[in-house]
């Protein structure tokens, strides 16, 4: 009988992990495990609470009411609509941007501690640690989907028709998912070796929520800074999402393609970084 040679993963080069076929194969091979862990994460989040999963609906609504009051009433922010409809339009437009930002923030915040919070998995030689950041992203996307349902219901309640361009919305989310996955893999690894990663990510996210046109239109930014702001991938995601859902227009294809390509590159680099560094997790933890 011919003996099978086992390849030591530590001997594999970075170029091996940069192969574009590895990530889809990994996700397909472990999709049942990912689905199981996502269900477990969602159940654990609301276990023991009186309202349970209803918090997924209540928290976004409370956040929306507070931000709408502060920015549309106190600071009188506008999206170019009349005074009679500005608050309603502002609330819907704001909520559209917030639900995407929350997916990004939840993924990155969770990714920083996904390995250190699952030490038992690290000790298992056969467990695919690379699926843990994927689970974090999938859980955030489920919560984002709930917020999307709230947004669409809100549009109907406010008698704003849901445009057919909503079909483009998944395309607008693709760059966000790729970006979150790449950064998630990177931060999950760095968070093992540098325990200050979590607080640093928290500070960066606080800055990004104001450096991304969530509470204001990008047209309100001086033209000299608009191009710089578009270098922020979140800006492209938020703007294209609003075009497809709120304004009934197709996404900006050039920026969508550019942000998707950037997301693919960051995802591949993040995966390669994680796979090359994960062999040292057990020694640190």
How much is the pLDDT for 65? 77
CA 133 – CA 127 distance, rounded (Å):
13
pLDDT digits over 206-248, tens only? 999 999 999 888 888 888 888 888 889 999 999 999 999 999 9
Task: Report the chain's mean pLDDT, rounded to a whole number.
Answer: 86
How much is the pLDDT for 49? 63
pTM for this model (two decimals): 0.89
Question: What are the distances in angstroms from CA 218 to CA 114, 179, 204, 229, 236?
Answer: 34, 21, 20, 8, 10
CA 157 – CA 116 distance, rounded (Å):
44
pLDDT digits over 39-93, tens only? 998 888 777 666 666 777 787 778 777 777 776 676 666 665 445 456 777 888 8
Q: What percent of the chain has pLDDT over 90?
A: 55
pLDDT digits over 100-127, tens only? 999 999 999 999 999 999 888 888 778 8
Burial 206-237 (b: 16+ CB within 10 A, else e): eebbeebbbbbeeeebeeeeeeebbeebbbbb
Min mean pLDDT across 8-22, 131-145, 153-167, 192-206 is at 8-22
Min mean pLDDT across 7-16, 23-32, 35-44, 107-116 is at 7-16
What average pLDDT does this structure show over 140-149?
92
């Amino acid at each position: 009988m011919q003996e099978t040679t086992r390849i030591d993963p530590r001997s594999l080069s970075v170029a091996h992990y940069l192969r574009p076929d590895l990530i889809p194969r990994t996700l397909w091979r472990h999709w049942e495990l990912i689905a199981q862990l996502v269900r477990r994460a969602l159940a654990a989040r609301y276990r023991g609470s009186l309202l349970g999963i209803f918090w997924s609906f209540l928290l976004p609504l409370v956040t929306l009411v507070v931000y709408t009051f502060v920015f549309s009433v106190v600071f009188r922010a506008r999206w170019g609509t009349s005074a009679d409809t500005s608050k309603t339009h502002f609330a819907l437009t704001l909520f559209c941007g917030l639900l995407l930002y929350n997916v990004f923030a939840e993924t990155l915040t969770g990714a920083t501690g996904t390995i250190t919070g699952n030490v038992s998995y690290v000790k298992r030689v056969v467990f695919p640690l690379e699926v843990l950041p994927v689970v974090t992203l999938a859980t955030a996307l489920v919560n984002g989907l709930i917020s999307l349902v709230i947004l669409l219901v809100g549009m109907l309640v406010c008698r704003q028709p849901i445009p057919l361009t909503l079909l483009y919305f998944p395309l607008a989310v693709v760059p966000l998912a790729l970006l979150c996955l790449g950064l998630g893999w990177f931060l999950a690894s760095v968070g093992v070796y540098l325990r200050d990663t979590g607080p640093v990510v928290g500070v960066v996210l606080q800055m990004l929520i104001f450096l991304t046109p969530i509470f204001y239109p990008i047209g309100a930014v001086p033209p000299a800074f608009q191009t710089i702001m578009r270098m922020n991938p979140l800006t492209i995601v938020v703007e294209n999402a609003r075009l497809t859902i709120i304004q009934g227009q197709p996404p900006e294809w050039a920026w969508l393609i550019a942000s998707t390509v950037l997301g693919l590159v960051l995802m591949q680099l993040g995966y390669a970084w994680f796979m090359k560094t994960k062999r040292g997790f057990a020694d640190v933890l």
